[in-house]
Every structure is written in structure tokens, then in C-alpha cells.
């Protein structure tokens, strides 16, 4: 209903949090905020309204949207002006700790290549000749090295534009789910990618809880979420709202009123995060902006649409998109009220709403971005509004150091082990996973796994590693994003093979 009022590449976001009791509670949360400076390691899970890291420490997503993979460029925008590493370094220096990366299913098509990347003066040199998916690998790897986490956002079925439902005649539900599974498998074992946002901004005729499987977004989210978790049960599953519920309409993807009666049910517990979007008048008018009590009325609006989920300790809430040009006084007052609603990190720590601002890009027509039109200068006024809700960054993960870099000199032994598990076998073919564990006393920068089948099996496809096969002997080598593994850590890769019925071979693992 509102997207026709927006210009080309914008999106809709929103939501925030409900102020709770202050006093001693706030003081305790402030102490927690200081304690979470080193939080964020490994994969994450939920507990009530909080997101916790692998060690059980609470974390707060305080991030930025960097769009472009969902457009006809098939890659994040701005690489025509700057090197991608300098972009990520700047995001990190400004205090953002998470990247939301919108994409369309087009980038999953074989051979899709990025457009509008400059290689002049050495920019983006390591992206030359890469497909869009391979560029995504490089961005994820460098984000992890920099201490950023990544949430992948299935923004559109194709580059042509946003869709009301999660499928179209050209991109059926089966393709949507298959592609989500592919991405979940591609980054399995790499906790830089902490989750997947299943579909951006479902809206009318999408419904929540109506029971019509062709329109019920809640049921579709369960199907897709469980498919993602069947491939990587460690991921967070982010589920946006719809536009309308029980006769009440709001922002596209911003209405989560139906959760109270019809919660999303996933096969793996503690992996669900609800997501809302919220915008200002630079995107579209809403009745609440002209209420005489504005902006005092806004916390009640946000409570009704999505804030109650946090307040009632049902699940974490992530404001996946919110933004404005900040040109009007109304928009300035809106953003100030929203930031307050989201809860300051100094007072409440990670017991807060999670968020990713729209957008890093300056070329979002109805919001603009944190960067100005030169793709370098920071809009310090806009960025300044977000200061109180920014949160500590995270310890660099398995992507730390340059790809392939063993981590520098030092004492210790580089060693690894590998374990082979058959996930499914249907006679004519099978799928298997290999878990690689650093069994040495120092970080490794690369690994190689070798095995020999006793039968006629051959690899048909492999993800998260490259391979060669000579006769019945297979050699798999790490991908760029998962070669570095800390001591005691692990990563994994998977593959399909044929025929089925083979036994589990003995594996050898070599680390460097």
C-alpha cells in the first residue's frame, strides 16, 4: 500500500522497544552493557526476549543495511566508488556491529555476475572475475575479520522489485526454500552469518494466522524456517510481520499483532527472532503522525504492533529497517522518540530491542543513508541520533586475518581432524557433511581433507569447500571464508554424491 509512494531502491523498516522500569534495574543493565564488550562469539540463540552468544552472554544487534545484491547490480552498491574493505572498516569505526545484506534469488542463479564494481587504483582487486555469490563470500569473510556479524535478508524474489508474497509465478515457493537452504549450507560452520531474514516486507494479501497456505505468512515462515534449520540448526531465523491483521493495517512487514494468537513454531527451540519495519513521513504518511499528541502517542503504537512481544518476554524483537531523510521536523521528532523507545545501551545493555538502520547507502531515495552522496562522507547528524543505541562490537571470528593467513608466527601445533556424517541416502544418491575440527594448539589458516571410497561413489556438488576427485579418492580444500579455524574450533562443508549405499570412509585432515 505504501511502496508505490517510494522511489526505486528503498525499503521499509521499523519498530522499537518499550521502556521498562528504571532505577536499580537500569543500573544493573548498565553493568551488563560493560560486561558484554567481549560477547558475541560463536553462533547465537535466544532466551525469552534476549539473544545470547555461544557462551550465554547477552548481545545486542546494532547494525546497518547495505543494499544492492537485491538489485540489477547483483552486488552491494558503492563499489563503483570505494573498496569494499574500506566500507566495512568505516562501518565498524562508527560503532555498527552487524550487517544486514539484502539479496534477491537472482544471485543464486548459476553464473550471475556483479555489475558496477571499480577496480581502478587497486580497489576491490580480489573481487575481479568473481560471481555475485563469491563476492558475498568475500564480504562475509571480511566482515567476520572485522568483528561484524551478518544477517542475510531475502529481500526480493528477483531484481525486478518487491513482492507482496514470498513467491511469484517466476519464483515459486520451492525455489525460495531451496535457495534459503543453499545459503544456510553455504555458510554452515561460519558463525559470522548468525541468521537469515526469510522474506522482506510481506504485505496484503499476505495474512497472519488465516490458515490459507497460499497467503498465510506465519505458516510459510514455519516451512522456510524449518528448512533452514534442517541444514544449519545453529542459525537464527528472523520472521517479519505483515501489513494487516484483524482489520488493522500498518507498515509493510511491520504488523506483528498476530503473534499473540498465532506464534511461529520452529522445530529447533530458541532460534526465533521477530522483525518489524518502521518509517517516517519521508517514506509515507500514517495517521499517527497527525495525531495531536504526536510523538507521545508513538510508544503506544509501537507497543501494539510489535513492542508487546518484547515487553511480554515472548521473543527478541529486531527492527530490521527504519530510516528517514530527517528533512521535516516531524521526522526528526519521530526518530528521537523511536531511539528512546529502543532503549539506550548504557542504561539497559543487551536487554533491548535489536536494530539495523536503513541504510548505509546514500542512494535510497526516500530515506538517504548514513553516507552522503560521495559515498565517503558521514552524515554526522543522522548517525548521531543512533549513538545511544549502538552497542559493543564482537570479537573477530573464524574469518579473522587475511583469507588463508595462518595467523602469524608463534608456538604450537597445527593439526586437524575430520568427521564424516551421511545426512540422507535415497539409493541413487546421498548427502553428507564433514566437520573439520582444529585439534592442535594454535589457529590454522587452511585445511585439506582427503578420503577414498571403497565403491564407485563420485561427488556431484560440494559447498563450503572446493574439491578434486581422482578415481575413488577425493580431496576437499577449505573455501576462502572458512579456512581460518581457532584452536578447539570447528567448521564444516557438505556435498552431494552418487550412487548411495556406500560406507563411511576413513578421513585424513591436513592443517596449515
Residues that are catalytic: 201, 321
Give 5's pLDDT tier (boundaries 50, 70, 90): very low
Residue with cell 522497544: 17
Full 3-state SS string of 465-494: EEEEEECCEEEEEECCCCCCECCCCEEEEE
114: phi then psi, degrees, rounded to nearest 5: -75, 155
Q: Which residues of 195-228 are buried (b: 16+ CB within 10 A; e: fewer)?
A: bbbbbbbbbeebbbbbeeeebbbbbbbbebbbbb
Residue 467 burial by Cβ neighbours in a 10 Å radius (0-12, 13-18, 19+): middle
pLDDT digits (tens, 9 = 90+) for 173-195: 999 999 999 999 999 999 999 99
Residue with cell 520452529: 266
Percent of residues in the chain assigned helix, strand, coil, to nearest 5: 25, 25, 50
CA-CA distance, 210 to 188, in Å (whole number)?
34
- Mean pLDDT to the nearest integer, 108-133: 95
Decide: 103 and 176 in contact? Cβ < 8 Å.
no
- Torsion angle, alpha carbons of 392, 53, 487, 435, to 10: -140
Alpha helices (H) in 212-252, listed in sequence order: 217-231
Give 126's pLDDT tier (boundaries 50, 70, 90): very high
CA-CA distance, 296 to 131, in Å (whole number)?
49
Decide: 49 and 26 in contact? Cβ < 8 Å.
no
Look up the pTM and report it.
Answer: 0.74
Bigger pLDDT: 451 vs 59? 59
Residue 300 CB contacts under 8 Å (≥ 6 apart), including other chains: none
Most confident of 83-92, 392-401, 488-497: 83-92
CA-CA distance, 477 to 468, in Å (whole number)?
9
pLDDT digits (tens, 9 = 90+) for 20-64: 333 334 444 444 444 444 689 999 999 999 999 999 999 999 999
- Mean pLDDT to the nearest integer, 97-116: 96
* pLDDT value of residue 397: 66
CA-CA distance, 73 to 54, in Å (whole number)?
36
Amino acid at each position: 500500500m505504501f511502496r508505490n509512494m517510494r522511489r526505486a531502491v528503498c525499503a521499509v523498516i521499523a519498530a522499537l522497544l518499550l521502556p521498562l522500569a528504571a532505577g536499580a534495574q537500569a543500573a544493573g543493565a548498565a553493568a551488563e552493557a560493560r560486561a558484554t564488550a567481549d560477547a558475541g562469539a560463536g553462533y547465537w540463540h535466544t532466551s525469552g526476549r534476549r539473544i545470547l552468544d555461544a557462551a550465554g552472554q547477552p548481545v545486542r544487534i546494532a547494525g546497518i543495511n547495505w543494499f544492492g545484491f537485491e538489485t540489477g547490480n547483483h552486488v552491494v552498491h558503492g563499489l563503483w566508488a570505494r573498496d569494499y574493505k574500506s566500507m566495512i572498516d568505516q562501518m565498524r569505526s562508527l560503532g555498527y556491529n552487524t550487517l544486514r545484506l539484502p539479496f534477491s534469488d537472482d544471485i543464486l542463479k548459476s553464473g550471475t555476475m556483479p555489475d558496477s564494481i571499480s577496480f581502478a587504483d587497486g580497489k576491490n582487486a580480489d573481487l575481479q572475475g568473481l560471481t555475485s555469490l563469491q563476492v558475498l563470500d568475500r564480504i562475509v569473510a571480511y566482515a567476520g575479520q572485522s568483528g561484524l556479524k551478518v544477517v542475510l535478508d531475502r529481500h526480493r524474489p528477483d531484481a525486478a522489485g518487491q513482492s507482496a508474497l514470498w513467491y511469484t509465478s517466476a519464483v515459486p515457493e520451492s525455489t525460495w526454500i531451496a535457495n534459503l537452504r543453499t545459503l544456510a549450507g553455504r555458510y554452515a560452520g561460519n558463525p559470522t552469518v548468525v541468521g537469515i531474514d526469510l522474506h522482506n516486507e510481506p504485505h496484503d494479501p499476505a495474512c497472519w494466522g488465516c490458515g490459507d497456505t497460499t497467503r498465510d505468512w506465519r505458516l510459510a515462515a514455519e516451512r522456510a524456517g524449518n528448512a533452514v534449520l534442517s541444514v544449519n540448526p545453529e542459525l537464527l531465523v528472523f520472521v517479519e510481520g505483515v501489513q494487516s491483521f484483524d482489520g488493522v493495517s500498518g507498515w509493510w512487514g511491520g504488523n506483528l499483532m498476530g503473534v499473540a494468537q498465532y506464534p511461529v513454531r520452529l522445530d529447533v527451540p530458541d532460534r526465533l527472532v521477530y522483525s518489524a519495519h518502521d518509517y517516517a513521513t519521508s517514506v509515507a504518511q500514517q495517521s499517527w503522525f497527525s495525531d495531536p499528541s504526536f510523538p507521545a502517542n508513538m510508544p503506544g503504537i509501537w507497543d501494539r504492533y510489535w513492542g508487546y512481544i518484547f515487553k511480554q518476554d515472548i521473543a527478541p524483537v529486531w527492527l530490521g529497517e527504519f530510516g528517514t531523510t530527517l528533512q521535516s521536523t516531524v521526522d526528526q521528532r519521530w526518530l528521537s522518540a523511536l531511539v528512546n523507545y529502543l532503549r539506550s545501551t548504557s542504561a539497559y545493555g543487551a536487554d533491548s530491542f535489536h536494530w539495523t538502520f536503513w541504510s548505509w547507502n546514500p542512494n535510497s531515495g526516500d530515506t538517504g543513508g548514513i553516507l552522503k552522496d560521495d559515498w565517503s562522507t558521514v552524515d554526522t547528524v543522522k548517525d548521531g541520533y543512533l549513538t545511544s543505541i549502538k552497542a559493543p562490537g564482537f570479537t573477530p571470528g573464524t574469518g579473522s586475518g587475511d583469507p588463508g593467513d595462518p595467523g602469524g608466527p608463534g608456538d604450537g601445533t597445527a593439526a586437524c581432524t575430520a568427521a564424516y556424517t551421511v545426512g540422507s541416502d535415497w539409493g541413487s544418491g546421498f548427502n553428507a557433511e564433514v566437520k573439520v575440527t582444529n585439534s592442535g594448539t594454535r589457529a590454522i589458516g587452511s585445511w585439506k581433507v582427503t578420503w577414498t571410497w571403497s565403491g564407485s561413489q563420485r561427488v556431484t556438488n560440494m559447498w563450503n569447500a572446493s574439491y578434486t576427485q581422482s578415481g575413488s579418492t577425493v580431496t576437499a580444500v577449505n573455501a576462502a571464508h572458512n579456512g581460518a579455524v581457532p584452536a578447539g574450533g570447528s567448521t564444516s562443508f557438505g556435498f552431494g554424491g552418487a550412487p548411495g549405499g556406500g560406507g563411511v570412509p576413513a578421513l585424513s585432515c591436513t592443517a596449515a
